Amino acid sequence: MRALPSWIAWFIKSPKMALALFLIVCVVATIGAKNLYFRGDYKVFFEPDNPQRVAFEEMQNIFNKSENVSFLIVPENGNVYQPSTFELTQALTEDAWQIPLSLRVESLSNYQHTYAEQDDMIVTDLIRQGQTGAEHINWVKDVVASAPEIAGRLVSDQGQVTVVDVTVQLPDGDQTKEVIKIADFARTLEQKYEEAYPDHEIYLNGMVVMNDAFAVAAQNDAETLVPLMFLIITVLIGVLTRSLYAAISTLIIVATSIAITMGLAGWYGLFLSTATVNVPTMVTTLAVADCIHIIVGMRLFLDTGMSKADAIHKSLLINKKPIIITSVTTAIGFLMLNFSAVPILADLGNMTAVGVMLACLFSLTILPALLTLFPFKGSSTEAQKQQKFEALGHWVTKNYRKVLPISAVLLIAISLFSAKNELNDVAVNYFDDSSTFRQAVNIQKDYLGGMSNMDFVAYTDEQYGITNPEFLSKIGQFAEWLEAQSEVQHVLSFSDTMKRLNMNMHADQPAFYALPENKELASQYLLLYEMSLPYGLDLNNQIDIDKSALRVIAVLDNLGSNEFTDFERRAKAKFAELAPDLRLEAASPPLMFAHIGERNMKSMVGGTLLALVLISGLIVIALRSWFLGGVSLITNLVPAGVGFGVWGMLSGEINMALSVVLSMTLGIIVDDTVHFLSKYQVAREEGRNVEQAVHYAFRTVGLALTTTTIVLAAGFGVLTLSSFALNADMGALTVIIIVAALLIDLLFLPAFLMWLSKRKGATEHDQISKQT
């Protein structure tokens, strides 16, 4: 028997000593995890000098922030113009000022209506406390009909729904705590008023509520489905290997690999984000695969009657090289994410690379030590299973003329469907109809249209530039254009306010609902109006401090990220045509997320595909064979094509989480390829022909690869139960890809090898592989 390197052998010789030292290393490294903290804010996706981030932050600094919570008030009888709804709206508006971090509360009741009274301009709340008489209600109804600032925004066009909108100022950095605090407070208000007004339904909506729903959904899954996933993985390993100790040993390696990876990240000063929370799952896949290779190998040799020490020794010997090749190439693949423009994806890549290497190291050292200490006995069942796989190998080599064309056509056909996929990240669609947030979104959609705002800021770079009648008329035209677009639900433009002020100053004559003719007049109307607004209802959300920039707020349907960014381009082009000398910026949280989706997807998928190609290059070097490296290129890339092809058939909608799946499955894809090909190569080098080499590969790795795939597919299958589409889709696509990878390696790959050997002459490329 060939010898293992002495440092690996030491772990088998002195398992107790090894485990004691390992325990210390684990504790020390894992303490670092206390330094980890979660950042859920958008900034983690962008470099500090990213142009979209700069534009967005500039807008946030100049105007008020635009994160919000909104209460949708739905009276049962479908008419908000009644005393109880007025009373409710007025009281809720008052109470909404108590929401933590609230800056501004807007509703039908505190809308600052202006009208002329003799020679005076009156500015007043639309509904003051107690103003619920029939006469007042009719007056409000008339006002709403003539005020584009409220109609369709604070009250639905048919008057079935009214909105109390609260703007909050979230701090920079991690906002999770504040988001939860705000959402909790809003929910208590919602309950209080639903109890007090049983003939009304109240729904919560807005950016903050959405972020909260995200946090809650992620937390629910993290508390139930993710532990269940680990449980199923452990139990299945136990069942499939018929050994409790195999399951426990694997669990120990997986847990310590994850713990030390996260601990080291903490020591290094990294933080958790929506990307890096996936690191444990990614490390799990390859750690499970590594352990199963060694355990299955050991059991096979135990069954042949070897002593346990020898069986472990032999299993390590045959698995060491492929495990190291798989781990190193996968780690390098993940390091490729450092080229991504998204900083947290670089963190994800680095952390996973470290985790994968740790899993490799531990499965070659700590796992043998554990296996040495735990009792294992030989049995005949493993040998039987092994024979089944060898029989499958025989079947493939015998029928390769059928298997190859059928599988090739099938793979190509399925892969073609991946073109059907479209990046369409509609954040609200992540939640199914059972979530209260999604119900609120649906109500909003039915009565008011979407909830995605896009804010446009026109900069004049001149003090009081915005009161220039020419500028205001351009803005008015732009607002009209926006209003005319089918996806736009509402436009809030100061040009409308200015028209109304002009009318008020001319005794409310409708003929004067137009922009004032000169700049001084417009400036002084603005001043008068501004001086008449109470705290929290000022114009800071629309006009900057030196009156040089104006913000126009458009509310759109809940579009996918592509359509959203496309609308941005169209609007900018339109404004450039209207006012070529003015600068217009567009920004808003939904727009940021739209850009994030696009960027994330591109970097992630592009980066991973590049990594797979690079890994094939590395396999050329590791196996010292151009031929096998070339073959691995196919088996590495095709599972991704098939996976996304199946997805194209099933759904066709790609969201942010799915872009991570390819990276998540990268390790398993490579593992399947490398283990199969390296066993094949060993057999060829020992002088067997292609057919025999394929049989050998089936016998030695078929069981391990299948076990790994079943275990992981069942584990990730659990995630498909999530009501949160991000996790459910991620689980489903992961299962599809790893199953596809296994089938390709067990059916297409051997048939392909057979076909190549028959076509080119069996000896040719093997000679090359030996020489290089």
Partner 1 sequence: MIRLASKHKWLGSLITCAILVTPVVNADEESEKEGLRIATERKESDRGWDNSLADMSMILRNAQGQESERRMRVKTLEVQEDGDKALTIFDSPRDVSGTAFLSFSHSKEPDEQWIYLPALKRVKRIASQNKSGPFMGSEFAFEDMTSFEVDKFTYDFLRDDTYQGDEVYVISQVPQDDYSGYSKQIVWIDKEHYRVRKVEFFDKKGDLLKTLEFEDYTLFDDEFWRPLKSFMYNVQTQKSTELITHELEFDAGLEDTDFDENSLRRAR
Residue 509 in contact with partner 1, rule: CB under 8 A: no
Q: Minimum CB separation from partner 1 for residue 123, in Å?
A: 7
- 164 or 279, CB closer to partner 1? 164
Binding residue for partner 1 (CB under 8 A) from 116, 228, 537, 610? 537
What's at 51, amino acid-wise? P
- 124 or 720, CB closer to partner 1? 124
Could you say which residues in the range 119-148 bind partner 1, by CB under 8 A?
119-124
In this structure, the strands spanning 120-125 and 452-459 are unpaired
Residue 530 in contact with partner 1, rule: CB under 8 A: yes
Q: Are 513 and 522 in contact (CB under 8 A)?
A: no
What's the full length of the chain, in residues? 772
Q: Map tokens 């392909």 to a residue.
A: 752
Q: Minimum CB separation from partner 1 for residue 547, in Å?
A: 8
Residue 102 in contact with partner 1, rule: CB under 8 A: yes
Residue 169 in contact with partner 1, rule: CB under 8 A: yes
Task: From 27-35, 272-280, 459-467, 685-693, give the range in contact with partner 1 by CB under 8 A.
Answer: 459-467
Binding residue for partner 1 (CB under 8 A) from 467, 495, 561, 722? 467
Residue 99 in contact with partner 1, rule: CB under 8 A: yes
Give the span between the Cα atoms of 436 and 216, in whole angstroms.
12
Q: Are 173 and 167 in contact (CB under 8 A)?
A: no
Residue 721 in contact with partner 1, rule: CB under 8 A: no
- 505 or 550, CB closer to partner 1? 505
Residue 97 in contact with partner 1, rule: CB under 8 A: yes
Eight-state DSSP code of residue 33:
G
Segments in 14-75 forming alpha helices (H): 15-31, 51-62
Residue 98 in contact with partner 1, rule: CB under 8 A: yes
Task: From 396-404, 430-438, 525-533, 627-635, give the range in contact with partner 1 by CB under 8 A.
Answer: 525-533
Would residue 46 be called left, alpha or beta, if left means φ above 0 and alpha means ψ between -120 and 50 degrees?
A: beta
Binding residue for partner 1 (CB under 8 A) from 505, 622, 739, 754? 505
Task: From 70-78, 98-106, 250-258, 741-749, give the range in contact with partner 1 by CB under 8 A.
Answer: 98-106
- 112 or 493, CB closer to partner 1? 112
Binding residue for partner 1 (CB under 8 A) from 35, 540, 689, 723? 540
Q: Minimum CB separation from partner 1 for residue 63, in Å?
A: 8
Task: From 94-102, 394-402, 429-437, 550-558, give the range in contact with partner 1 by CB under 8 A.
Answer: 94-102
Residue 55 in contact with partner 1, rule: CB under 8 A: no
Token duo for residue 155: 């009250």
Residues 6+ apart with CB under 8 A from 337: 345, 346, 348, 349, 350, 603, 604, 607, 611, 663
- What is the DSSP track for 91-148? HHHHHHTTSTTEEEEE-TTT-EEEEEETTEEEEEESS-TT--SHHHHHHHHHHHHH-T
Residue 518 in contact with partner 1, rule: CB under 8 A: yes
Q: Minimum CB separation from partner 1 for residue 128, in Å?
A: 9
- 282 or 501, CB closer to partner 1? 501
Angle, alpha carbons 321-327-332 (nearest 5°) = 125
Of 751, 755, 756, the closest CA to residue 403 belongs to: 751
Give the span between the Cα atoms of 131 and 137, in whole angstroms.
8
- 170 or 258, CB closer to partner 1? 170
**CB atoms < 10 A from the CB of 455, how many?**
23
- 422 or 470, CB closer to partner 1? 470
3-state secondary structure of 66: coil
Token duo for residue 98: 């108590």
Residue 508 in contact with partner 1, rule: CB under 8 A: no
- 7 or 535, CB closer to partner 1? 535
Task: From 22-30, 516-524, 709-717, 725-733, give the range in contact with partner 1 by CB under 8 A.
Answer: 516-524
- 182 or 491, CB closer to partner 1? 182
Binding residue for partner 1 (CB under 8 A) from 1, 195, 486, 535? 535
**C-alpha separations of 276 from 30, 611, 657, 717, 723 in Å:** 17, 18, 12, 21, 22
Eight-state DSSP code of residue 171:
P
Residue 424 in contact with partner 1, rule: CB under 8 A: no
Give the span between the Cα atoms of 313 and 373, in whole angstroms.
14
Q: Minimum CB separation from partner 1 for residue 69, in Å?
A: 14
Give the span between the Cα atoms of 162 and 535, in whole angstroms.
22
3-state secondary structure of 245: helix
Residue numbers of the site for partner 1 (CB under 8 A)? 58, 60-62, 64, 97-103, 119-124, 169, 463-464, 467, 505, 518-521, 523-524, 527-528, 530-540, 543-547
